[in-house]
Structure 1
């Protein structure tokens, strides 16, 4: 899909139809910093900033760094969200998954 961190961030933001402002808010970053990440050759962002971006874009830090494919990253991000759900919500989701697989 994309070759660099900036390419991956920009492509995921556009895929999610998020503006710079929206992604910056979700990731806990400033709009100007996010713009620079997408448009300039900067040193690698900190782990904390990458973690915020990964959560906001529903992928993993490994994907943003280029060491994981998108499908695997999305699956891991989904499981991260699943683990944070209430036991009742997880039970409903498992039931739904079984119905979809039939």
Structure 2
């Protein structure tokens, strides 16, 4: 299980099948900046960049920077709600309708 920021970034990027170029495009960071984060343990990202990278990789910033953090249910929920909150009102309504239908199946 990866523990350092660099290990986590590399593992998450590979899980999503992103090259450094792709992650750079989607996060707004440069390829060289991301390479340094993955390969140089002394690099500390800015909070702004870390937020953008975490968003693209579907994790929280806490997970990335805490060497002891695991990606647990709370992390999954936080990522879900972060994505949900970016939806427009109509799409949020459709998601809520689907949740209502699924919850009735019990």
The within-5 A match list for 1:33-44 is: 33-44=33-44
Q: Which has the higher helix share?
A: 1
Q: How many residues align?
A: 102
Q: Partners in 2 of 1:12 and 1:50 — Cα distance?
A: 14
Alignment correspondent of 1:91: 93
Q: Partners in 2 of 1:24 and 1:73 — Cα distance?
A: 23
Gaps of 5+ in 2: none
Gaps of 5+ in 1: none
Alignment correspondent of 2:10: 10
Q: Partners in 1 of 2:88 and 2:49 — Cα distance?
A: 27
Higher RCO by CA contacts (8 Å cutoff, separation 6 or greater): 2
Partner SS, residue 70 of structure 1: coil
The within-5 A match list for 1:1-102 is: 1-66=1-66, 68-71=69-72, 72-101=74-103, 102=105
Partner SS, residue 85 of structure 2: helix
How far the C-alpha of 1:42 sits from its partner, in A, is 2.4
| TM-score in terms of structure 1 length | 0.88
| TM-score in terms of structure 2 length | 0.85
Q: Partners in 1 of 2:102 and 2:5 — Cα distance?
A: 35
Please say which structure displays the higher CA radius of gyration: 2
Q: Partners in 1 of 2:95 and 2:50 — Cα distance?
A: 28
Q: Partners in 2 of 1:98 and 1:69 — Cα distance?
A: 30
| Structure 1 range deviating more: 89-98 or 51-60 | 89-98
- What do the CA deviations read for 1:41-60 (whole angstroms, capped 9, x no partner)? 22321111111111111111
